[in-house]
Structure 1
Amino acid sequence: MDIYTSTLSPALDIGAGCYLLVIAVLSIVGNLLVIITAVKKSSKMKPLELFSVNLAVTDLGAAVTMYPLSVASTWSHHWLGGNVTCVYYGLAGFFFGIASIMNLTILAIVRFIVSFNMQSPNEIFGWKKVKMLCVWIWLYALVWALFPILGWGRYGPEPFGVSCSLAWGQMKNEGFSFVISVFFFNLALPVVIIICCYFGITIKLYFTHKKVMNNSNQVPNIVKLHRRMLTIAVLISTGFVVSWSPYGMVSLWSVFHDSRVIPPEVSLLPCMFAKTSTVYNPMIYYIFSQRFKREVKQLCSCLLPNSTKASKDNSIYMVSGHTKLRTNPDHILQEISEVKDSESSAKRTIE
């Protein structure tokens, strides 16, 4: 049998194609909304928000360049285009996947540095630094994606025949060093960095919240903003890792064992589950950001941008630049004191 012929049943091929079509539509629409919202507010956008736009671009790029070919192939019960499109598809998937995980890693490091620094985020990371980091993310992903083309590693069809990726089963000997390097530098190390950074931010926020509550019965908005953005960032990072972990484990298993032992139907599931990583980010923004939700409704109902009042939530992004994200307890207590003084002055004026 041709290696590019589906080993799945025709019904399962059609079902997988329909599933991928839904994922493609949701991903394209959702990430386009994120980008459009950012473009509309580009004059007010802060440097650190560029990382969230960059993440939306990686997800949109994966959906546009990969999913149509995959849908057409599953419905044809045969991979379309042969070796050329297989290498293209594998390279695109690897490229956008590396770009996404590195974007999340850099974002976690940036948030960690900002949270433990008393300066404004814009003073620590200006436009020049942020743009350089984004360029580094894309170049890093491109270098890794080109390695199999240059002879270190290789691309090939998945066991079920109608998708392509890194040829894990064929890299038992000559490509073993590539496999170990990929898993260490592009999965294990980034995951450890992300966990450590957000754990440190959580501890910092916990002690800040505790100190503030000891001096006031009301939690200030700045602490609530920190907590909400931390939740968004952790959910997005966790979602990416969770969606790709089953595929990573199956791929690693196939390097040390005979991949033909795994039934095609079983090898299909982790691959399909990994595709969801391009969908959920806009959904998380929509749930946790009132501003993003409001602007999406405005776009859908074709209302004018000024028809609604501005929301208190100043950013749809995982890192906000509209408010100084300070977790220093003394700064927060000072803000509370200033608010109380303003309220007392207003009362005296009224009286």
Structure 2
Amino acid sequence: MEETMPSYYDLYFPSSETPEEICLPVEVPYKNIVLPVLYATVFFVGILGNTLLIGALIFKQRIRRPIDIFIVNLAVSDFIFLITLPIWVDKEIYSGLWRSGSFVCKGSSYIISVNMYCSIFLLTVMSGDRYLAIMYPSVARRIRTKLYSINLCVCVWILSFLLGLPTLLSRELQRYADKSYCIDKDPTLKKRIESLLLLALAFFVPLFSILMFYCSVTKKLCVHYQKSGRHEKKLKKSIKIVFIVVIAFVFSWAPFNVFKFVAIMSDIQDLKPPFCLLYKVGNFGMELSGPFAFANSCTNPLIYYYFDDHIRKAMLRCILPCIKTTSSGSSSDTSDTQS
């Protein structure tokens, strides 16, 4: 008799309830084909881009600016996460079957969690740093040193490691029909509420802070350029750089975390048919938006390459050591980009 893959009901609800008494999520069509292709693309592009970015800033530019320390730490976080992607490619190809052991199950899930928190907090710190540099330049000149950036990055890493511990503790290897699956333990109501609070404090609060920082910076730039009477093209360029960073962050992480919030809320309410639409929407949305969140790890080098002249020149010198790069814009344009 042909052996079939276990259903979501069998894996996550090994209880006396029947499938009709619980909410069964909608599966993404052809996900064992589409997701491996997407993850493999993110892996190769991200590894190449982040390696080039790290090498350019450390070996070519010697990390001249405090902001470069944040960028290098963000690239290192993305690089560490990308190393685990082949494991998840293998998982998706085999329709959820985990073949890498319990240690890798816990470790890779923990790395993904740490990367998410580290990316969010580093982007928040970077946006706060830009806010300080533009809104309070005299204060920024005194405190924005390399040591200042290093200390902030150390705090971000420690906080991310601590916030990732719940994932490390909840993830486990479970067996079904002599096959192993890397899944979460069935959480208690208390754990679900803790997950909801952690999501709010570790994502939505930083997101709100980033948006507030950039709104203030944009308003300041508009007032500054209107008073100085500079060309409108410079104003558009400065604002465009600010919004590209915000849009990339929101587009990558917001959908996944919004759907996660919906899934946790519906799970807390212990919804039953026919009232489980939110549960299905949350879980289906997380599966669809997961690749976009992962893709954030390969988009950052592209953003810095196209919008930061300083980093672009360093990356070009890594690709072609013999090339002698020249400024593609005026010095004032470069200073605007660095701001």
Find the counterpart in structure 1 of residue 254 from structure 2. Answer: 245
Other-structure match for 1:76: 94
Alpha-carbon spacing, 1:187–1:156, altered in 2? closer, same or farther (3 Å) = farther
The question of 1:34 aligning with 2:50 is answered: no
- Is the 1:290–1:313 Cα contact (8 Å) retained in structure 2? no
Distance across 1 between alignment mates of 2:30 and 2:285: 15
- The aligned amino acid for 1:69 is I
Aligned counterpart for 1:178 among listed residues 173, 187, 194: 194
Q: How does 1:92-131 map to 2 (within 5 A)?
A: 92-119=111-138, 121-131=140-150
C-alpha displacement of 1:41: 3.5
| Structure 1 unaligned residues grouped into runs of 5+ | 326-351
Kindly tell me: are residues 318 and 132 of structure 1, through their superposed partners in 2, closer, same or farther at Cα, counting changes over 3 Å? farther
Q: Which amino acid aligns with 1:30?
A: G
Preserved CA contact (<8 Å) 2:211 2:246:
no
Identity percentage of aligned residues: 21
Match of 1:208 in 2: 224
Which of 194, 213, 216 aligns to 1:197? It is 213
Normalised TM-score (structure 2): 0.76
Deviation, 1:11, is: 4.8
Report the counterpart of residue 262 of structure 1 in structure 2.
280
Name the counterpart of 2:19. none
User: Which secondary structure state, in structure 1, belongs to the residue aligned with residue 98 of structure 2?
Assistant: coil
Look up the equivalent residue of 1:193 and give its one-letter code. Answer: S
- Is the CA contact 1:90–1:155 (under 8 Å) kept in the aligned structure 2? yes
Instruction: Give the distance between the partners of 1:247 and 1:162, measured in 2 at CA.
Output: 26
- The aligned length equals 301
Higher mean C-alpha deviation, range 68-77 or range 40-49: 40-49
Normalised to the residue count of structure 1, the TM-score between the two structures is: 0.73
CA displacement, residues 158-211 of structure 1 (integer Å, 9 cap, x when unaligned)? xxx99968x4x9435030332132122111110111111111111111111111
Name stretches of at least 5 consecutive residues in structure 2 with no aligned partner.
1-5, 13-25, 174-178
Over the residues paired in the alignment, what is the CA RMSD in angstroms?
Answer: 3.5
1:309 aligns with 2:326: yes
Give the whole-Å Cα distance in 2 for the aligned partners of 1:110 and 1:199: 14
| Paired AA for residue 325 in structure 2 | T
1:1-351 equivalences in 2 (<5 Å)? 1=6, 3=11, 11-43=30-62, 45-64=64-83, 66-77=84-95, 78-119=97-138, 121-149=140-168, 154-155=170-171, 167=184, 170-171=186-187, 173-213=189-229, 218-219=230-231, 224=234, 228=237, 231-257=240-266, 262=280, 267-300=286-319, 302-305=320-323, 307-312=324-329, 320=338
> Within 2, Cα distance between the matches of 1:120 and 1:227?
26
Which deviates further from its counterpart, 33-42 or 169-178?
169-178
Q: Distance in 2 between matches of 1:197 and 1:285?
A: 19
* Distance in 2 (alpha carbons) for counterparts of 1:255 and 1:44: 42
Letter in 1 for 2:246: S
Deviation at 1:147, TM superposition (A): 3.5
Taking the aligned partners of 1:246 and 1:163, their CA distance within structure 2 comes to: 26
Pair 1:89–1:17, CA change in 2 (3 A): same
Shift of the alpha carbon at 1:109? 1.3
Q: 1:101 to 1:10 in 2, by over 3 A?
A: closer
- Deviation of 1:104 (Å): 0.8
| Secondary structure at 2:137 match in 1 | coil
Match of 1:330 in 2: none
